[in-house]
């Protein structure tokens, strides 16, 4: 049986409250043995990665660009799609559930893709 995968989505430019919430989410997911998927960028993405890695978790960053070195440190693995915002579909469709922390236009598109696909969504400091 494969490990559960949860995508954590949120803005690259986030508030301190969003950053703290994302880090806590990463820690809790890692403690539960869940593979964390994120966009691999700054802000919420970096915070969830830091939280998961600090707890010994696996974090996969799915990047919009084609350069795997253009990602935040702290990821276990990077998938450089070269697909721009279309990578949002890969991120969401690879997840068993999506957690949205905060919000931006990119985050909203990820939320909409998840809802349309019937993937469970939980929002923290955000809309659902």
State whether the Cα torsion 20-14-127-123 is positive or negative. Answer: negative
pLDDT (0 to 100) of residue 128: 59
Distance between CA 6 and CA 8 in Å, rounded? 6
Report the SS3 class of residue 47: helix
Q: Where do the structural domains in the chain lie, given as residue ranges?
A: 5-11+22-124
Burial class (CB in 10 A: 0-12, 13-18, 19+), 72: buried
CA 82 to chain centre: 17
Report whether 29 contacts 6 (CB < 8 A).
Answer: yes
For the stretch 59-116, pLDDT in tens is 999 999 999 999 999 999 999 999 999 999 999 999 999 999 999 999 999 999 999 9
Report whether 40 contacts 67 (CB < 8 A).
Answer: no
Asked if the 5-11+22-124 domain carries CATH number 3.40.50.80, the reply is no
For the stretch 26-36, pLDDT in tens is 999 999 999 99
Distance between CA 95 and CA 2 in Å, rounded? 12
pTM of the model: 0.96
């Amino acid at each position: 049986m494969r490990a559960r995968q949860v995508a954590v989505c949120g803005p690259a430019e986030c508030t301190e409250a969003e950053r703290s919430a994302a880090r806590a989410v990463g820690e809790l997911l890692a403690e539960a043995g869940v593979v964390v998927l994120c966009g691999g960028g700054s802000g919420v993405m970096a915070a969830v990665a830091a939280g998961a890695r600090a707890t010994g978790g696996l974090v996969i960053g799915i990047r919009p660009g084609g350069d795997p070195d253009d990602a935040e440190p702290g990821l276990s693995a990077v998938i450089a799609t070269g697909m721009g915002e279309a990578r949002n579909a890969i991120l969401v469709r690879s997840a068993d559930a999506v957690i949205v922390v905060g919000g931006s236009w990119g985050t909203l598109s990820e939320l909409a893709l998840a809802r349309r696909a019937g993937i469970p969504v939980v929002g923290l400091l955000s809309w659902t």
